[in-house]
Amino acid sequence: MKKLLFIAVSVLVLPNVASAQKWSKSDIEIFVESCVGEAQSYFTPEGALQYCNCTMEKIMVLYPDAEYIDQMTDDELNTVAEECIFQIAETTGDDIFLKWTDETKVAFIEGCSEELIGSGIDASVYCPCALEEIMKVYTTPFQAMSMSEDVLFEIASKCMGE
């Protein structure tokens, strides 16, 4: 999921810029196109626009001068992404999120594999099993982000053959 958040926020949009101090119209247009294009892999078109508007507002608070956007850390990107995802879902529900797509499945497997490095668990067996079990319970990747510890442990036990 972290990779999904990073991908979704690393290409940003800037449509609501009335209060922008040092963001040129060109900067804004470039980011809008890029963000919405990338975000549509995870959101409906309306959801992508809402997400991109939200991330832009938050990023402009952190970086009022577009020149310094490259200094944004992964932690800042993830925080902005998470805040916007949960804010939008709270106001609109999870209908703005696409069902599991090839991109979100790959992102899940990659993120899961990275998390298991050095754990002694065979990620090539565990991660596809975990994805299959998660998809049985949660119809969207967003829903899976709120997985309870009980469900997580149940899936882990099943996929580890316990």
Which of 69, 96, 123 marks a domain boundary? 96
Range of the domain at 126: 102-159
CA angle 43-4-19, nearest 5°? 65
User: Which residues in 22-36 are b (16+ Cβ under 10 Å) and which e?
Assistant: ebeeebbebbbebbb
Are residues 91 and 108 part of one domain? no
Angle between helices 74-92 and 45-62 (to 10 degrees): 130
Neighbours of 100 (CB within 10 A): 17
Q: What pLDDT sits at residue 112? A: 92
Are residues 111 and 64 part of one domain? no
Are residues 117 and 62 part of one domain? no
- pTM (predicted TM-score): 0.63
Task: List, for residues 71-107, the tens digit of each pLDDT value.
Answer: 999 899 889 988 998 898 888 877 888 889 888 899 8
Q: What pLDDT sits at residue 162? A: 63
Domain count within the chain: 2
Task: List, for residues 66-75, the tens digit of each pLDDT value.
Answer: 888 889 998 9
Q: What pLDDT sits at residue 127? A: 95
Q: What pLDDT sits at residue 21? A: 53
Looking at every residue in the chain, the average pLDDT score rounds to: 82
Which of 49, 77, 96 marks a domain boundary? 96
Which of 49, 79, 96 marks a domain boundary? 96
Are residues 49 and 8 part of one domain? yes
Are residues 51 and 24 part of one domain? yes
